[in-house]
Structure 1
Amino acid sequence: MSSDTPDAPARRVETARIEQEMEQSYIDYAMSVIAGRALPDVRDGLKPVHRRILYAMHEAGVSSRSSHRKSSSIVGSTMGDYHPHGDSAIYDALARMAQDFSMRYPLVDGQGNFGSIDGDPPAAMRYTEARMAPIAEELLEDIEKDTVDFSPNYDDRMEEPEVLPSALPNLLVNGSSGIAVGMSTNVPPHNLGEVIDATVHLIHNPDCTVEDLMEHVTGPDFPTGANIVGRNAIHQAYKTGRGRLRVRAELEVEDGDKIVVTELPYQANKSRLVERIADDVNEGKLEGIRDLRDESDRDGIRIVIQLKRGTDPELVKNQLLESHLESTFGVINLALVDGEPRVLDLKETLEAYLDHRRAVVRRRSEYDLAEAEDRAHILEGRLTALEHVDDVVDVIQDAEDRDDAKAALREAYDFSEAQVEHIVSMQLGSLTSMETEAIEDEYEDVQARIDRLTEILEHESELLGVIEEELLEIKDEYDDDRRTTILEDEGEVTREDLIAEEDVVVVVSEDDYIKRMPLSQFRAQRRGGKGIIGTDLKEGDQVSSVFVANTHDYLLCFTNHGQVYELKTYQVPEMSRTARGKSAVNLLDLAEDEEITAVVNTADLDAEESGYLTMATRHGRVKRTGVEEFENILSTGIRAVELEEGDALVDVEVTDGTRDLVVATAGGMSIRFDEEEVRSMGRSARGVGGIKLQEGDEVTGIAAVDAAEHEWLLTVTDNGYGKRTAIEDYRQQSRYGKGLIDIKTDERNGPACTIEAVGPGDHLVVMSERGQIMRTRVEDVSTFGRNTMGVTVMELHEGDDVASVAVVPERRVEA
């Protein structure tokens, strides 16, 4: 080999940009988590780990009729053959399927300690035993009849089902929860009988509405019982696939001096709940309670709260409900449909299941028809042979060997290979008249079965009839009484109930005038327009901030002084575009020179399992604080960040620990870094350096980039110019660097005033200091690279500047 000939390994080396490789690797990882681990399939309602556990048990013969098998054996088979992940994760999934307080209809029949509602973990897998519950076998029924597709397992040694046949709508019946990358699912369990009744109704009425189906499915049915307060939230969840249900414990007053709790909200930890109540009593937060006992046993839950003499039981009940015995279940009906995650309403969920069952029953019928036709073919040969039994016997006797006999029979009676193979293998005992009669009866039965299967395959109505019949059989076998009660919301009518739910624009001026206007008043215009009058300011006043919210939203308003206040949107007076607004003194206790600089919707906080509020100050400091630090906000506000002299809070974003932060300055600089570089700290902390500012420069905003939602960073300058730039153009750096040039801030553009992470379909609401307001589509703002001039976003009058920019996410843009 020549010395200058490259060796083989060197020829296989490919050059790649690290950011592209990391992006692709992260996308591959995200899709693996979404499709392969965290989300259930809409067809069988199972995640891969649960499906593999049940299939491994099926293959090992661990059915409901077999003896229990060591859990470690089941986990080992699952891990070795189908699920090459940690054994603890597999065992956790197995244990949960055996917990009657977690699953409405447990899929595993466990023997031993599989955990408790007190949060006790299951015993080690070597101590517990398990087998399939009878209802789990309904999920696997007919899997051997080519009813579902199989794919190679992780090492190509064997095959595993991509989905189970699932003779019941398991996604709704048992629910599911999971957190993937950038999305999560939280499907509540339901009563099997109600779900089957709704499915049957859909079979007969394919054009029915969600409201029609709700006549059968009245609401979730939790294994722990309890109560759901209000039907509107249930309707919202079934109509949109998302909703927030108030789940209240079942409690009553006994003997006038004690409150007894007999049912807890779903997924509540009983032991921790009792401890928290006791802590509040000891700290004086709950008054009137003399004693607290947990008298629960195998027969059910019983928590006894003994009251002091003279205490009003109803008052204590209300305090307990407000603080401990009422929780929120956030419904996110998200599942994999054709391998892609989708949020489904009630009807779409049942339609997807019915499509699956159609395919299963059709494939099963085709399999059974092929077998029946094969059997009929054999029986036809036997009947022909029995009609000419003497001649057949003579032919066989005269043949030299088996092959000659088969050839002679084929020539004499036109038998097929399969028929002659069967005939020459018949025993003499099958030639009796009784055997002949049995064969004729069997042939008639097989022929009738062929006719029935052909009818099912040729007529959609017959196929749906089979699905309905099998569903009703399962209902007869497993249906039980509803456990969760739906309560009417008997609370007093509040002002919120009288306010129409709509998106509004809220405008705040420097002199603390505030008002709201319907967002629908501002139709989307092409960029570069002057907009319309958004508010009439008194002389010397100017707009300080504008934001978009729903009238039913609860908002956290952050000010330049580092304070945060809570505001209900409907409390802001609704006024016309030309109105000045009302003084905010009765809504927010702002200081003389205090201005709102950022607004966070608490609905965004509720969407995060454990989120953060990430803040940026004028002098370039960045701070992350857990959302739990902002749960109890006083009417006078609370401290959000400690500021150095001359510094001010300029922007706040909600993050979840996985996002990138982009800090932008008035001088057109920006820096992008991982939010994990900013450690979480308390409200009284000052934060850490986010960007090194050039002399005279200051921070104007911070953007939190969610790769699943955002494609561009949008920058707007004081003089009304702006641009969209692909997020990839902002390479990730380490925190507290000088950053990169974002936009040119020459005399034409003026200083940069804001930066926002935006995606397709988003709208912008831009407002000037003199009260002009314009709404435009994000896509109408041209795309440029970094360090460019941009285009006119809003044409301003002479002497006017952009005051504030709000983003209306695509999900809130009116169709």
Structure 2
Amino acid sequence: MAKDELNLLEEKGIIDFPLENLVGDRFGRYAKYIIQERALPDVRDGLKPVQRRILYAMNELGITSDKQHKKSARIVGEVIGKYHPHGDTSVYDALVRMSQSWKLGSPLIDMQGNNGSIDGDSAAAMRYTETRLAKLSGLLLKDLEKNTVLFAPNFDDSEKEPTVLPAYFPNILANGASGIAAGYATNMPPHNLGEIIDATIAMINEPSITLQKISQIVKGPDFPTGGIARGIEGIESAFDTGKGRVFIQSKTHEENGHLVITEIPYEVIKQDLVRKIGEVVDANPGIGVREVRDETDRTGLRIVIELAPETDFELTRKFLFKNTPLQISYNYNNVVIVNKQPMQLGILKILQAYIDHHRETYTKRTDFELAKALKRLEIIEGLIKAISILDEVIAIIRNSANRSEAINNLVTRFEFSEVQGGAIVDLRLYRLTSTDIVKLQEEHSGLSAQIKHYNLILNDSNAMNNEIIKNLNEIKNEFAIPRRTQILDTIESLDVEIKQTLVEKEYNIWISRDGYLKALEPNQIGKFGFEEFKRRPNDLWIANVPATTLQHLILVSSAGVYYSIPVFKINSSKWKETGMHINQIATMNGNEKIIAAFVVNSFENAKQEILVASQNAMIKRTPVESMVTKMFSKAFKIMKLSDGDRLVSASLVTSKTKFVTMVTQNGFSVRYDIEEIPSASVTAKGVKSCSAKDEKIIAGKAFDNEDIVIITNKGNIKKIKPEMIPLMNRPKKGVRLYPWNKKRDEFVLDLFSAQANETLCLLDEEDNLKQLNVNTLKYSDLEEINNDLDMGEIEAAIIEKNYIIQNNDIPKSPRSSDNDSENEEEGNDLKK
């Protein structure tokens, strides 16, 4: 841009400036402000600016610990109007926090009214609460009027405010701090006031004291909520560098077999803690927790976790500590303002910075007291001299025209100083008695001793140290309290598996194809008829399995995924209820259906396999032990499906399994030796199951020596011997299971392996459910027409299978086949 154009812009009040530089400059100023003047505490008095301004404003208003409480709104208005030009909410929140005994080790504000609670409740509005300074705050503000600290103009130069408070105790460590600035954050826990004072005294006596000696005095953090702090290494690291981590545990004990909590970790909201414990208990009903009660009252905090008699107390305690805020980690981050710069300091440097500030403050205070004593001594000496020549003094005063002339005459005639002359002129006549002369002489003696003492303090560092130590001991004797947080060296191992905490309980579980799980205790079965066994409309129970809370359910879905559901997460149901949906544990898509359910006692050494077949003629075996998961809230892949494909069947392969029987929608069926089907990982596609061309596969299931039952959509059924279906090498199309009727749009709905006395359940399109005992069916030949059940269009059919995974039951190993051309193409990760 030309120079003339720049001049023209400046004349119009427009400044041309690169945006990058402008934003960088403004943000730099903002960051510097919030670091130095808002979010981080000063190492000397341990206060943020807003806290310092609140305490100073209250002190100026005279709302001290020995005066009546005043409305909080009055204090907030004073702070905003004179010192802190920000929102009233931020000021009131800071005021409230300084009064909360569960946040600060030594509260600085005495608030009357509702100042919140450990349950996370907000304080009442500022117009309702009343406030005054706590007695301890007087030590932060003491001697403020004696030129002990530097004052600076406020935001509009109409008032003066202290840049730091005298702070006659190490507030920075006693109360800790927390805050977030730009690029910096601080997180300092409270410590025991008595221990911190002892450490301060030890460092005054021994400036080169080691961290090890300080650690023997200050055991660690001392939280106002008590609890147990674990991890001496983290504490030592924090003391050394200002950064470290400790674990805070609730304090618990056993009472009549129940878990009772009496102290909780620092800054954990009790109400949220109780809710979280309840959520964990609800999500894990098998851990043996009957009820969680908050019995906190005026006598103290108390949370009772009622356990069942057979519950393992210690394992359940560890499980709850691991999965709830009954134990939390606390990260030290000792970032403080030192000489207007943020620095991360260990405890030695913090103590040294505080001692330096205390010495400086005490030096200025002593200078002030010395000057005051010298001035008073000068006056006393003048008064004593005046009384010795009283008649002449009175005569001079009487003969003077005014006060100024009287002072000048006294100074000229008797060599009094200006200060002495003024004091003599202002002296009242009643003070001229012999009694007051004695008092003046006593005061003279006392002032002389004080001046000598002050000079000693200023000129002898040991004398000053002794004075500071004396004052610190007095503060400790008045304000120190016993340690509340117990310190333990080691971190407790909470590596407890959920299975270890479970109380074994037996159920009969029904699983529906829409994903409903109904778990009935044994005493529920047989009380009502099957017609009252409630289910969702158009839904069908596909499995009924016995299981205990120590076992898992594997639910295979038509979407090519499986859900691993711990039985203990399934809520107990009633006979007439529909049960709980799988979505209460995991997330199931509304379009998918559950096609099979398996009970797993333990995934370790579970050598059995699950045979899965897809509609597009893919098939494979997957080992159960490879299906172990650590998460239960999501689905896991059991077969990689191509677009538009879905799983149609899943069955168990055991050491007794001999064959795999396939059936297509048009009724063609073929059998293979189980070894024809390779074993593959959960993410593999599998291999071609049969040469069905454009036909859809309806089922591909594992068989031992069971009968074969097929059902068609028209309600026709047929039971045949397995040997009627030819045994071939994969992949083949096979033979038709029933005569083809060109006039009827009839296709196979499903194929089942059937044993004696098993029940076939049929659901039609009008939601009518019919049950049929397999024994009532007669064997048929392939050429025979299917038996007509006289039902409408069949929606679904099932024989409830009881698939129990037995450990160490090893099925036959699959063998390689010359016909497995698809093996290289679609199953490159198959395990031979």
**CA separation in 2, counterparts of 1:294 and 1:414?**
81
1:278 corresponds in structure 2 to: 278
Query: Counterpart in 2 of 1:797?
Result: none
1:277 partner letter? I
Q: Hey, what does 1:650 align to over in structure 2?
A: none
Question: Which residue is equivalent to 2:321?
Answer: 321
Ranges in structure 1 where 5+ consecutive residues have no aligned partner: 495-631, 640-644, 646-815
**2:303 aligned with 1:295, yes or no?**
no
Q: What RMSD in Å do the two structures reach over aligned CA positions?
A: 2.4
**Corresponding position of 2:52:** 51
Query: Which residue does the alignment assign to 2:454?
Result: 453
C-alpha contact (below 8 Å) 1:286/1:319 kept by paired residues:
no
2:266 maps to 266
After superposition, residues 666-677 of structure 1 pair within 5 angstroms as: none
Q: CA deviation at 1:99?
A: 0.7
Which residue type is aligned with residue 481 of structure 2? D
Determine helix, strand or coil for the equivalent of 2:136. Answer: helix
SS in 2 for 1:155: coil
Distance 1:111 1:409 in 2: 58
Query: Which residue number corresponds to residue 117 of structure 1?
Result: 118
Q: 1:468 to 1:286 in 2, by over 3 A?
A: farther
Q: CA deviation at 1:417?
A: 1.5
Cα separation, 1, equivalents of 2:306 and 2:416: 87
1:157–1:401 distance in 2 versus 1, CA, 3 Å? closer
Equivalent residues of 1:252, 1:261 under 8 A apart:
yes
**CA deviation map 1:95-123 (0-9, x unaligned):** 11111111111111111111111111111
Structure 1 counterpart of 2:395: 394
Matches within 5 A, 1:414-493: 414-489=415-490, 491=492
Q: Closer, same or farther in 2 for the Cα pair 1:423/1:31, shift >3 Å?
A: same
8 Å Cα contact 1:50/1:93 also seen in 2: yes
- CA apart distance, 1:638: 11
Distance 1:34 1:400 in 2: 62
Distance 1:411 1:355, change over 3 A: same
Q: Relative to 1, partners in 2 of residues 1:107 and 1:490: Cα closer, same or farther, differing over 3 Å? A: closer
Deviation of the 1:386 alpha carbon: 1.1
Q: Distance in 1 between matches of 2:238 and 2:635?
A: 34
Q: In the alignment, which residue of structure 1 is the partner of 2:682?
A: none
Asked if the contact 2:280/2:323 (under 8 Å) is kept, the reply is no
Residue 60 to residue 7, structure 1, CA distance change in 2 (3 Å):
farther
1:44-101 C-alpha deviation (Å, 9 max, x unpaired): 0000011101101000011011111111111111111111100001111111111111
Structure 2 SS opposite 1:98:
coil
- TM-superposed CA distance for 1:407, in Å, is 2.1
Matched residue, 1:157: 158
From the superposition, tell whether residues 322 and 480 of structure 1 become closer, same or farther in structure 2 (CA, over 3 Å): same
What one-letter code is carried by the residue in structure 1 that aligns with 2:144?
A: I
1:221 partner amino acid: D
Shift of residue 399 of structure 1? 2.7
Write the letter of the residue equivalent to 2:162.
P
1:432 & 1:143 partners in 2: Cα distance? Answer: 37
Q: How does 1:445-594 map to 2 (within 5 A)?
A: 445-489=446-490, 491=492
Distance (whole Å) between structure 2 residues aligned to residue 285 and residue 277 of structure 1: 12
Match for 1:470: what amino acid?
A: N
How far residue 493 of structure 1 moved from its aligned partner, in angstroms, is 12
Q: CA shift at 1:387, angstroms?
A: 1.4
Write the distance in 1 (CA, Å) between the matches of 2:286 and 2:386: 90
Which residue does 1:175 correspond to in 2? 176
The question of whether the paired residues in 1 share the 8 Å contact of 2:99 and 2:111 is answered with yes
Query: 1:189 touches 1:222 (CA, 8 Å); kept in 2?
Result: yes
Q: Distance in 2 between matches of 1:344 and 1:67?
A: 39
**Shift in Å, 1:389:** 1.1
1:575-611 per-residue CA deviation (whole Å, 9 max, x = no partner) reads: xxxxxxxxxxxxxxxxxxxxxxxxxxxxxxxxxxxxx
Q: Equivalent residues in 2 for 1:640-651 (5 A)?
A: none
Aligned twin of 2:249: 248
| CA-to-aligned-CA distance 1:321-359 (integer Å, 9 cap, x gap) | 111111001000110001101111110000000000011
1:42 aligns with 2:37: no
Relative to structure 1, the CA distance from residue 430 to residue 223 in structure 2 (aligned partners, 3 Å threshold; closer, same or farther) is same
1:306 and 1:199 mapped to 2: Cα distance?
A: 46
Give the distance between the partners of 2:630 and 2:110, measured in 1 at CA: 47
Is contact 1:177-1:187 (8 Å) kept?
A: yes
- Cα-to-partner distance string for 1:679-732 (whole Å, 9 max, x where unaligned): xxxxxxxxxxxxxxxxxxxxxxxxxxxxxxxxxxxxxxxxxxxxxxxxxxxxxx
Give, in angstroms, the shift of residue 460 of structure 1: 1.3
- Deviations along 1:281-307, whole A, 9 cap, x unmatched? 112277110111000012211000001
Q: Which residue is 1:366 aligned to? A: 367
Secondary structure of the residue aligned to 2:139 is helix
Aligned to 1:627: none
Structure 2 letter corresponding to 1:72? A
Distance 1:245 1:480, change over 3 A: same
Deviation at 1:406, TM superposition (A): 2.0
* Contact in 2 for aligned 1:110/1:129 (Cα 8 Å): yes
Shift of 1:400: 3.5
Q: Per-residue deviation at 1:431?
A: 1.4
The Cα shift of 1:230 comes to 2.5
Q: Distance in 2 between matches of 1:351 and 1:136?
A: 22
Q: Find the aligned partners of 1:281 and 1:306 in 2 and give their Cα distance.
A: 11
Q: Structure 2 unaligned runs (5+)?
A: 496-628, 637-641, 643-832
Alpha-carbon distance in structure 2 between the residues aligned to 1:71 and 1:9: 49
The alignment covers a number of residue pairs equal to 499
Correspondence for 1:762? none
User: Residue type matched to 2:333 in 1?
Assistant: I
1:6-61: per-residue Cα shift (whole Å, max 9, x none)?
Answer: 89972754321110010111111111110011000000000001110110100001
1:309 equivalent in alignment to 2:309 = yes
* Alignment-derived partner of residue 99 in structure 2: 98
Q: Supply the distance in 2 between the matched residues of 1:339 and 1:108 (Cα, whole angstroms).
A: 27
- Indicate the residue corresponding to 1:405 in structure 2: 406
**Residues 210, 347 of structure 1: 8 Å contact kept:** yes
Residue 27 of structure 2 corresponds to: 26
Q: Deviations over 1:450-494 (max 9, x none)?
A: 111111111111111111111111001101110000123274799
Aligned partners of 2:234 and 2:246 also within 8 Å: yes
What do residues 157-198 of structure 1 show as CA deviations (whole Å, max 9, x unaligned)?
A: 000000000010001000000011111000110111000000
Structure 1 runs (4+) greater than 4 angstroms displaced: 4-9, 490-494, 632-635
TM score, norm. by length of structure 1: 0.59
What's the CA shift for 1:413? 1.2
Distance 1:336 1:633 in 2: 46
> What's the counterpart of residue 235 of structure 1?
236
Give yes or no for contact 2:6–2:16 (8 Å, CA) kept in 1: no
Cα drift, residue 5 of structure 1:
14
3-state SS in 1 of match to 2:481: coil
Distance 2:224 2:286 in 1: 29
In structure 2, do the counterparts of structure 1 residues 65 and 394 end up closer, same or farther at CA, with 3 Å as the change threshold? same
The separation in 1 between residues aligned to 2:249 and 2:403, in whole angstroms, is: 78
**For the residues of structure 1 that align with 2:148 and 2:49, how far apart are their CA atoms?**
18
